[in-house]
């Protein structure tokens, strides 16, 4: 590119509107030592800066750039630009695509920036929604876990109750079997001062190898205590026969041990003892009675 062609590029260089290959050509020309072009470029840039300041109140950026360009052309050629000047329109049209491309890039950049901001806002909203949904799910999960724990406790209680009912049913069946045995021996126990409204009986069948205690009206067993039945024999005195618990308003049916073989039973008695029972009576006596003679 010759010296004149480089000089024609100076106004565009002042406005930073050169194509990459034109910019490289100008840079090489200036490095080669063209003082004239360097001075003219510096003057044009100073003029462009001054014109830009004087036109900063313009409503359109592209219009401002257009006016700066026209004034630079006028300054370069020493005359006011005329629209009818030969070659002016063609030169102007040749230079406008560069400015149009820059405007298009600026618009595209603005659109991309707006899109990025929109995506960031949307991502923040989605993150907040997900956080709230996660908190709600965690709360529901805790409520469900609490409900499951409650149901599990109810199931365990139901199993305990079923087991107790099964034992009660088995004891009643055993009692009926003993009561219907031909060798039934019955001992009736009368109430004493601690349980004035209670009464009980012990049914024994040697052929069935079973003995069953039945009582009503006993006070509920205190905590840390148990009721204990005794066979009182002529030979050894009190012999432990079994332990049982009582509840207010509920009859007691419990299997107990048979009387010691070969011994003569004089009495049966019920005492209140420490939990786990004892080998000899230590507590208050609640019931006492003698075997019914055939």
pLDDT for 84 equals: 42
Which one has a higher pLDDT value, 131 or 187? 187
pLDDT of residue 82: 44
Report the share of the chain in percent with pLDDT over 70: 75
pTM more than 0.75 = no
Q: What is the pLDDT of residue 4?
A: 82
What is the rounded distance in angstroms from the CA atom of residue 91 to the CA atom of residue 20? 18
Q: How confident is the model at residue 85 (pLDDT cuts 50, 70, 90)?
A: very low
User: What confidence tens digit (pLDDT) does each residue in 87-103 have?
Assistant: 544 554 454 444 444 44
Instruction: Report residue 112 as tokens.
Output: 């991309």
More confident residue, 127 or 229: 229
pLDDT at res. 89: 45
pLDDT at 189 over 80: yes
What's the rounded mean pLDDT across residues 257-269? 93
Task: Identify any residues that bridge with 210 across adjacent strands, giving them in sequence order.
Answer: 205
Say if residues 286 and 218 touch (Cβ distance below 8 Å).
yes
Closest-CA residue to 245 (of 271, 275, 279, 221): 221
CA distance 166 to 163: 5
Contacting residues for 204 by C-beta, under 8 A, at least 6 apart: 178, 184, 185, 186, 187, 210, 211, 258, 259
Residue 248, number of CB atoms within 10 A of its CB: 9
* Rounded Cα distance, 99 and 16, in Å: 10
pLDDT band at 76 (very low <50, low <70, confident <90, very high): low
Q: Which tokens hold the place of 109?
A: 């950049």
Q: What is the DSSP string of 104-141?
A: HHHHHHHHHHHHHHHHHHHHHHHHHHHHHHHHHHHHHH
Q: What is the mean pLDDT of the chain?
A: 80
């Amino acid at each position: 590119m010759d010296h004149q062609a480089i000089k024609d590029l100076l106004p565009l260089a002042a406005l930073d509107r050169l194509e990459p290959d034109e910019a490289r050509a100008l840079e090489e020309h200036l490095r080669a030592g063209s003082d004239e072009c360097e001075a003219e470029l510096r003057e044009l840039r100073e003029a462009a800066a001054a014109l830009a300041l004087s036109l900063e109140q313009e409503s359109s950026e592209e219009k401002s750039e257009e006016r700066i360009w026209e004034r630079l052309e006028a300054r370069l050629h020493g005359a006011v630009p005329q629209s009818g000047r030969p070659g002016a329109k063609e030169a102007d049209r040749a230079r406008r695509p560069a400015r149009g491309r820059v405007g298009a890039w600026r618009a595209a950049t603005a659109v991309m920036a707006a899109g990025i901001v929109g995506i960031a806002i949307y991502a923040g909203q989605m993150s907040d929604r997900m956080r709230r949904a996660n908190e709600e799910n965690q709360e529901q999960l805790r409520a469900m876990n609490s409900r499951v724990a409650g149901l599990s406790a109810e199931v365990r209680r139901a199993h305990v109750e079923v087991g107790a009912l099964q034992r009660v049913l088995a004891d009643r069946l055993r009692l009926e079997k003993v009561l219907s045995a031909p060798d039934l021996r019955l001992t009736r126990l009368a109430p004493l001062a601690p349980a004035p409204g209670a009464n009980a009986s012990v049914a024994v069948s040697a052929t069935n190898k079973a003995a069953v205690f039945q009582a009503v009206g006993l006070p509920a067993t205190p905590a840390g205590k148990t009721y204990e039945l005794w066979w009182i024999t002529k030979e050894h005195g009190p012999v432990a026969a079994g332990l049982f618990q009582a509840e207010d308003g509920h009859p007691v049916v419990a299997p107990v041990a048979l009387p010691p073989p070969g011994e003569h039973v004089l009495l049966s008695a019920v005492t209140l003892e420490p939990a786990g029972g004892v080998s000899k009576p230590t507590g208050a006596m609640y019931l006492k009675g003698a075997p019914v003679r055939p």
